[in-house]
Amino acid sequence: MEESHKNILRRNRTNLVKDLDPSNLYDGLLEKGVFTHDMIDEIKSAGTRRDQARELVRDLETRGSRAFPLFLECLQETGQHSLAELLQNGAPAVKIQPATPTQVDRPVVQPLPITSPMSSVTVYPMPRPSPTSSPSPESQDIRPRPPVRTRRDSIQSYKMDASPCGHCLIINNVEFDPESELSSRKGSNIDCEKLERRFKALNFIVEVKTNLKQKQIKHQLSALSKKDHSQYDCCVVIMLSHGTEVSHSRFPGAVYGVDGQFVPVQHITNYLNGQHCPSLQGKPKLFFIQACGGGERDTGFEVSPDEVEPSIGGADDQTDAIPMSSSSDSLSMSDEVDARATLPTPSDILVSYSTFPGYVSWRDTQSGSWYIETLDRILEENAATDDLVTMLMMVNHEVSQNSAKGLYKQMPGSFNFLRKLLHFQT
């Protein structure tokens, strides 16, 4: 498919997923050769109407130059005129060329050998090259895909249609006690406001807590775990603070309270795991950590010119780093029974970090942190069409292009224990 047509589909993907009725299109797309029977069956197995629409639009981009105009034809034929007009408004005029008729292969008649009277050598006339029909570009474009080996039922989507979808707790630590020797996190309120708006738009009940000490952080997490989540489909925890690297067995890093005492990320996730919060069993628990994983600064490495993209960052960039602590002396392990060090392996948990463990995380005092600014924009632009893990890869890529003070880099990442795809409500 031409790049211009792909761009049209991507720009209008939200409306297509929301309004497209795939079931009426299958016969036409099959008859016109856009998809094969196997591909139609695969799209049908995606699940709900929205999931099928999402899969159809994604697969359409792989189906060659005739796929876009034939798709428009099918929309018109099935009465989905508003979507057809929406796509046509930004599309260059396309003339659909009929497929080149297939030529019948005929046997090649070989001439009889000619024997020279002056010699016993038998001479064969040079055969004339037979014209071979080369398939047209259009017929080459639409071709069957190799069989999909992945079981579709093994990567179904989480149920995410409850209203509200679930709770979202944001802990925003900005002003730290002087005795903590931790600096004020200018720009964090910008991050907090962005995420509060974003997750409200994704139909979450958002609660913001500001400038919490270590025990207050643990108290809020404990209170969240004791809520009845049975009528909800998901739970989100967002930590905006200074951080450090600590010894761990599963999830690295720790987040500081404003009193200079930290809570390991591993303990933060334990509050909501299946053992301590039964009403969230089997449901996705998402943790977004905007804090440093350590004190190292990444200067990056050289890449080929085609990998280089414009980077941002300037003199106002700060880090959320505190030197690594080798012990948990500042954490009283007896404060909460939920904060035990050894718990069963979590399931349905995803922890997204703003930076690679051991490295600093950059924050602009005027516009907020690189990670949150990018995460907010990616969710706004892609939540209607893409799953969470795909969007986090987009975040990883974009943040990796940034450069602080023209020198330092940052690489977000995640620990993913989700068992299914996660699509937010939009």
Q: Across the chain, which distance is largest between two alpha carbons, in Å?
A: 114
Instruction: Name the catalytic one among 192, 267, 292, 423.
Output: 292
Tell me if residue 292 is catalytic. Answer: yes
DSSP state of 394: H
Are 187 and 369 in contact by the 8 Å Cβ rule? The answer is: yes
Cα separation, 146 vs 268, in Å, equals 43
End-to-end CA separation in angstroms for the chain: 28
Q: Which residues of 302-341 are buried (b: 16+ CB within 10 A; e: fewer)?
A: eeeeeeeeeebbeeebbbbbbeebeebebbeeeebebbee
Beta-bridge mates of residue 172: 210, 240
Tell me if residue 5 is catalytic. Answer: no
Instruction: Name the catalytic one among 242, 267, 276, 423.
Output: 242
Task: Give Cβ neighbours of residue 5 (< 8 Å, ≥ 6 apart).
Answer: 67, 68, 91, 94
What the block records as the tokens of 261 is 């005492």
Cα separation, 339 vs 221, in Å, equals 10
The answer, yes or no, to whether the previous bond of 164 is cis (omega within 30 of 0) is yes
Catalytic residues: 242, 292
